[in-house]
Amino acid sequence: MEENIKPTIFNKNTGEYEAVLYVCNKCHEMHADETYMCQACTCESLRIVPETELIN
C-alpha cells in the first residue's frame, strides 16, 4: 500500500516541519505534489511555499 506523504520543509523559527505547495512563477497555479513542471502551463519555474504563508 502506497502512502500519500506531503512534501515538508523545516521551519527554523518554530522547530517544526510545515507542509509546502509548489507554486508556478508564471501562472501562479498551486500544486500539492512534488513536481518540476506546472501542469497548467508547462512552465518549469516553480517555487516552494509553506502552506502557512499562503493562509496568512
For 6-21, the pLDDT digits (tens) are 789 998 999 999 999 9
Averaged confidence pLDDT in the chain: 89
Contacts of 29 (CB under 8 A, 6+ apart): 23, 38, 39, 40, 41
Percent of the chain at pLDDT exceeding 90: 62
First to last CA, the chain: 35
Entry pTM: 0.78
Outline where 1-56 has alpha helix (H).
51-55
pLDDT for the residue 3? 66
> Where in the chain are the domains?
8-53
pLDDT greater than 70 at residue 1: no
Percent of the chain at pLDDT exceeding 70: 91
